[in-house]
Chain A
Amino acid sequence: EDQVTQSPEALRLQEGESSSLNCSYTVSGLRGLFWYRQDPGKGPEFLFTLYSAGEEKEKERLKATLTKKESFLHITAPKPEDSATYLCAVQAEDKIIFGKGTRLHILP
């Protein structure tokens, strides 16, 4: 069965404390993996698309990596404004599957 699992469910970090969020997946025919940021009461904001194992993409304090089984979203020296829910989604041949997200809280 195709599925996407994100861990941890929630994460609290001190400002400046780097960490990684995990997205593991089992799908047939991976066409792409997406990371989104979602603030409360708002729609997801697109961050990255990764297409193949070994690919990496960066944006400010965020870096996304992809292997054949999982993706990591690394957050370097986070700031309070990075607090949000981070969603991972996987595009299979005929459907997109979302993980439940990781709620990240950065303490000042």
Chain B
Amino acid sequence: GAVVSQHPSWVICKSGTSVKIECRSLDFQATTMFWYRQFPKQSLMLMATSNEGSKATYEQGVEKDKFLINHASLTLSTLTVTSAHPEDSSFYICSARKGGGGDTQYFGPGTRLTVL
């Protein structure tokens, strides 16, 4: 199997606060994890790629100081949205790639963030 979980599944927060989202690979070790955001009826937009034990690589236009990514172990990556604002409201999805298992990414169930 290749199961990826995310927590929380949804979160509502006030503007200016920080929110942390966890992504875990439950039954495999993920050398690489990815963070995406998705707006309604749009496709996935890659935000950053993280490899265990090293700094994340951010896509152009994604503020690394606003979206903090930590990939501390082979089964856990976290995304922290700092000083969240209403425009950060979105559906955040993580994915994980097995070590030595090719390019296939396995996705988590997503986290719905609403910033008031």
Which A residues are within 8 Å of any B CB, using their own CB? Answer: 31-32, 34, 36, 41-46, 49, 87, 91, 95-96, 98-101
Contacts A43-B4, A45-B107, A87-B44 supplied; 8 other A-B pairs, CB < 8 Å? A31-B103, A32-B103, A34-B103, A34-B105, A42-B109, A46-B104, A87-B43, A98-B44
Return B111 CB to nearest CB of chain A, in Å. 9
B43 and A101 contacting across the interface, CB-CB below 8 Å: yes
Q: Which residue of A lies closest to B42 (CB)?
A: A100
Taken together as a complex, chains A and B put the C-alpha atoms of A32 and B6 apart, in Å, by 26
Residues of A contacting B61 in the complex (Cβ-Cβ under 8 angstroms) = none
A49 and B104 contacting across the interface, CB-CB below 8 Å: yes
Return A68 CB to nearest CB of chain B, in Å. 18
A44 and B93 contacting across the interface, CB-CB below 8 Å: yes
Give the interface centre of B43, B93, B95, B106 by most chain A CB atoms within 10 Å: B43
Taken together as a complex, chains A and B put the C-alpha atoms of A32 and B42 apart, in Å, by 22
A42 and B110 contacting across the interface, CB-CB below 8 Å: yes
- 5 example contacts (A-B, Cβ-Cβ < 8 A) are as follows A43-B108, A44-B44, A46-B106, A49-B102, A49-B104
Return A71 CB to nearest CB of chain B, in Å. 15
Residues of B contacting A31 in the complex (Cβ-Cβ under 8 angstroms) = 103
Give the contacting residue for A43; candidates B2, B46, B93, B103; CB below 8 A: B93
Residues of A contacting B4 in the complex (Cβ-Cβ under 8 angstroms) = 43
Give the interface centre of B44, B104, B109 by most chain A CB atoms within 10 Å: B44
Residues of A contacting B108 in the complex (Cβ-Cβ under 8 angstroms) = 43
Interface residues of B in 58-105 (CB under 8 A from A): 91, 93, 95, 102-105
A96 and B107 contacting across the interface, CB-CB below 8 Å: no
Taken together as a complex, chains A and B put the C-alpha atoms of A87 and B43 apart, in Å, by 8
Q: Which residue of A lies closest to B92 (CB)?
A: A43
Taken together as a complex, chains A and B put the C-alpha atoms of A85 and B107 apart, in Å, by 15
Taken together as a complex, chains A and B put the C-alpha atoms of A100 and B46 apart, in Å, by 13
Task: Decide if B7 is an interface residue (CB 8 Å cutoff).
Answer: no
